Amino acid sequence: MSVIVTDSGFAADDLPAGAFVTLPSDTDPATLAGINAEAVAVEFPFFADGRGFTLARALRDAGFTGRLRARGHVIADQYAMARRNGFDEVEITDDLAARQPEPQWIARADWQSHNYQARLRG
């Protein structure tokens, strides 16, 4: 099983398993312009692999307006970065949800207020 993390906290998955186009983290960002899907999941094979954040930003910059999910080894400390790069939600394992419970994720859900770049721009 897995847990979906949103700005409201933990939630059940409300989309069928086959609804997502899944992109591995080593997808070439130059190939993303033609993706026409309702939902895209970007795989994070381990938490130190930041290529998924680049893919999310590239998808949004290419005009993707569908649902964008980070799937895999994303930790609570990375939630605000995931949201700022265009992800709508994060899918984590039940094991990770037990190690990093909902309050840890909710503490980072106010991602717009904690954007240091916006504060620098004034």
pLDDT tens, residue order, the chain (122 aa): 799 999 999 999 998 878 999 999 999 998 998 888 999 999 999 989 999 999 999 999 999 999 999 999 999 999 999 999 999 999 999 999 999 999 999 998 886 665 556 666 66
pLDDT value for 109: 86
User: 2-121: what fold?
Assistant: Rossmann fold (3.40.50)
pLDDT value for 110: 82
The model's pTM: 0.89
pLDDT value for 116: 59
- How do the domains of the chain map onto residue ranges? 2-121
Q: Which of 74, 92, 80, 66 minimizes the C-alpha distance to 25?
A: 74
